[in-house]
Chains A and B, each alone.
Chain A
Amino acid sequence: AQRVTQPEKLLSVFKGAPVELKCNYSYSGSPELFWYVQYSRQRLQLLLRHISRESIKGFTADLNKGETSFHLKKPFAQEEDSAMYYCALLSGSSNTGKLIFGQGTTLQVKP
């Protein structure tokens, strides 16, 4: 079965501390994975996708096929990073198809 698991509902850290939001997936095939973020009173927006291998707002995520993980990391959290983060798996090919979402993790960065 295709599944995305985000084990933490809430992650609370102090400003300047490192952050790791966990994501594990189950997929038979070559996965395409995304991180989406939803700031307070804003729409869901794409943060990054694994095929781009880019860093957005200081966040990175590496696909580990052996551990079936796609954890989101940032070395020094900022207060403006406080938001809800969703890991998502594309079920389909050629850039189309539904996204399967994890339950989401609320990141709270305290001053």
Chain B
Amino acid sequence: DQQVKQNSPSLSVQEGRISILNCDYTNSMFDYFLWYKKYPAEGPTFLISISSIKDKNEDGRFTVFLNKSAKHLSLHIVPSQPGDSAVYFCAASAWEAAGNKLTFGGGTRVLVKP
């Protein structure tokens, strides 16, 4: 049962254009969402997060949007740069007495073409 889904396994975008990555979740208890970037042979690198009390969070070129009613979040990267080529994972957590486990989506591979 995949509670967090990234339906696009890959995305190709021209340098300087916008990259839009999407993520859907099913568990209504999720209240904190994160995006990670991963290069081969490295661990995931934290990019940006958003709490369920917000619908938008921005950090430089990265903006995350949350639509709670649709159980959908997206990551916008603008402008896209060649160094952004990586696999992007969305993750979600639910504040519960038993800790802070992250549930990850399957990832979207982004290729930024120069």
| Same complex | no
Residues of A within 8 A of B (CB): none
